[in-house]
């Protein structure tokens, strides 16, 4: 993946080896979590930092 702030479904599908449809479901779920925490989200994209935190346990968003 390129060094970008937001990931799209294609990026996530490639990273995880899943379908694009499943990547969109992951994005929707992660963005719902972020909305509950009061963050602004972009439909179809998710923060790379939050993605890494939730999937790999890296850095923390929202503390």
Output the DSSP codes for the chain.
Answer: --S-SEEEHHHHHHHHT--HHHHHHHHHHHHHHHHHTT----TTEEEHHHHHHHHH--S-S--
**Rounded to an integer, what distance in angstroms lies between the CA atom of residue 38 and that of residue 54?**
17
What is the full per-residue pLDDT of the chain (63 aa) written as tens digits?
A: 557 899 999 999 999 999 999 999 999 999 999 999 999 999 999 999 999 999 888 655 554
Is there a contact between 15 and 26 (Cβ–Cβ < 8 Å)? no
What pLDDT sits at residue 56?
A: 86
pTM, 2 dp: 0.82
What pLDDT sits at residue 59?
A: 57
R_g of the chain computed on alpha carbons: 11
């Amino acid at each position: 993946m390129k060094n970008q702030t937001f990931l799209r479904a294609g990026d996530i599908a490639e990273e995880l080896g899943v379908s694009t449809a499943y990547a969109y479901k992951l994005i929707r779920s992660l963005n719902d979590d972020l909305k509950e925490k009061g963050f602004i989200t972009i439909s179809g994209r998710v923060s790379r930092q939050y993605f890494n935190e939730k999937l790999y346990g890296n850095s923390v968003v929202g503390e």
